[in-house]
Amino acid sequence: MKITKITGIGHYVPENVVTNADMEKIMDTSDEWITTRTGIKERRHVVDETTSDLGVKAAEKALIMARIDPKDIDLIIFSTISSDHYFPGCATQIQDRMGMKNIGAFDLKAACSGFIYGLSVADQFIKSGVHERILLVGAEAQSVAIKFDSEHRDLAVLFGDGAGAVVLQPSDDDTGVLSTHLHSDGSHVEDLWMPAPGSSFRPFISKEIIDDEMHIPYMNGREVFKNASIRFPEVIQEALKHNNLALEDIKLIIPHQANLRISQMVAKRLGVALEKIYSNIHRYGNTTAASIPIAMSEALDEGKFSQGDTIILAAFGSGFTWASAAIKW
Ligand code: COA
């Protein structure tokens, strides 16, 4: 059975940089509060781009690196919680825009764990021989749904927009995805969610929904922090154990960029140096399903890992969901 290899990777972020100083101008916050609580200095916000626009730009780069013509891709998985429309998803839009054949294309909604969930799904298709050239995109334009005022300052400063993409193919050797592990705990649905629009509401859209701000994301920051600090190390250890690996065997851990303080807590709980846990959250904030492929793409460009190195991806987010993947590059 062939294992799944990442043969191309790319990322794209919108040009519009929103610094902590910009946030200070529109809400009661400070660079000092944001930096010490989250590690974020700036993030990118779309101006007139959509999630699929971002996804196309990241996907083009991944395809160039993989030297694959869009017409040869045989499945698209698009992980996002901020698709251009309520339905259909972004995957079919990029199928058409990138000139791909009439292949399968679907969106996957697993929030901040969406990229690893997508990687796991793609891995099953490749290992089973059903598909051979899969495009997996993680992209978000979530600033569009957030309210930028003092009342919503906890979420407003945290999230950013961007996209990352990978091309997945059967490996010719023993390098590639070694394992993926997926988890969820739906008892925490309301700790990080955007309740509307949805089938819970009659009528589907109403003045009440808007007045009660059910269409704006809500986060119970402390509960998220508490659970993330436990689940990240747990799911990283699960990946190590499954592959008979020790932390010393891992070149780099690339976590979903939720918050620098969460990464610091994970480093402490695992007993590893913070340098082993990749971070670019100071530049982009939390980009949900896009954060891992953006981070992986930048870490590769920066030479933080290279051929033959083993890395671990780990994610935690809304649902709650959490996941990990071990990859021999
Ligand atoms: N600027 C200034 N003050 C802010 C603020 C902001 N952007 N956001 C919240 N505050 C205020 C709160 O209103 C609160 O004020 P109060 O004491 O007057 O009520 C105060 O800061 C402290 O709030 P608290 O919740 O105790 O802060 P905290 O130390 O827990 O940090 C988070 C808040 C959001 C940074 C933290 O809970 C966190 O990182 N949670 C995880 C978030 C996350 O990673 N989410 C994504 C997961 S995928």
Listed residues 174, 189, 207: the one ending a domain: 174
Mean pLDDT score, 210-221? 96
Q: Is the pTM of this model over 0.95?
A: yes
**What pLDDT, in 10s, does the model give residues 175-187?**
999 999 999 999 9
286 is catalytic: yes
Q: What's the pLDDT score for residue 74?
A: 98
Residues with CB under 6 A from ligand 1: 29, 33-34, 37-38, 112, 153-154, 157-158, 219, 221-222, 224-225, 258-259, 261-262, 286, 317
- CB burial class (10 A; 0-12, 13-18, 19+) of residue 197? middle
Residues 167 and 186 in one domain: no
Quickly state the pLDDT bin for 290 (edges 50, 70, 90). Answer: very high
Nearest CA to ligand 1 atom 44: 258
Which residues span the domain enclosing 95? 3-174
Q: In this prediction, what percent of the chain has a pLDDT beyond 90?
A: 99
Listed residues 174, 197, 213: the one ending a domain: 174
Nearest CA to ligand 1 atom 8: 154
Q: What's the pLDDT score for residue 228?
A: 97
Mean pLDDT score, 35-48? 98
Q: What's the pLDDT score for residue 311?
A: 98
Residues 145 and 16 in one domain: yes
Which string of DSSP letters, residue by residue, matches 127-180?
HTTS-SSEEEEEEE-GGGG---SGGGHHHHTTB--EEEEEEEEE-SSS-EEEEE
Residues 22 and 161 in one domain: yes
What CATH number has the domain bearing residue 192? 3.40.47.10
> Active site residue: 112, 131, 181, 259, which one?
112
**What pLDDT, in 10s, does the model give residues 54-96?**
999 999 999 999 999 999 999 999 999 999 999 999 999 999 9
Nearest CA to ligand 1 atom 9: 154
Tally DSSP H helices, then E strands, for the chain: 11, 13
> Active site residue: 20, 90, 256, 280, which one?
256
Q: Which of 37, 151, 259 to mutate to test the pocket of ligand 1 (most atoms within 8 A of CB)?
A: 37
- Mean pLDDT in the chain? 97
Residues 182 and 170 in one domain: no
Nearest CA to ligand 1 atom 45: 258
Residues 75 and 121 in one domain: yes
Mean pLDDT score, 105-114? 98
DSSP-H helix ranges across the chain: 20-26, 31-38, 51-66, 90-97, 114-127, 153-156, 207-211, 221-242, 260-270, 281-284, 291-301
Q: What's the pLDDT score for residue 1?
A: 82
Residues 169 and 203 in one domain: no
Q: What are residue 254's DSSP bridge partners? A: 313
Distance 79 CA to ligand 1 centre (A): 27
Distance 206 CA to ligand 1 centre (A): 30
Distance 209 CA to ligand 1 centre (A): 25
DSSP state of 286: B
**What pLDDT, in 10s, does the model give residues 9-21?**
999 999 999 999 9
Q: What's the pLDDT score for residue 199?
A: 96
Q: Which of 154, 223, 318 to mutate to test the pocket of ligand 1 (most atoms within 8 A of CB)?
A: 154
Residues 107 and 241 in one domain: no
Distance 165 CA to ligand 1 centre (A): 31
DSSP state of 237: H
Distance 43 CA to ligand 1 centre (A): 17
Residues 249 and 302 in one domain: yes
d(CA 63, CA 80): 20
Q: In this prediction, what percent of the chain has a pLDDT beyond 70?
A: 100
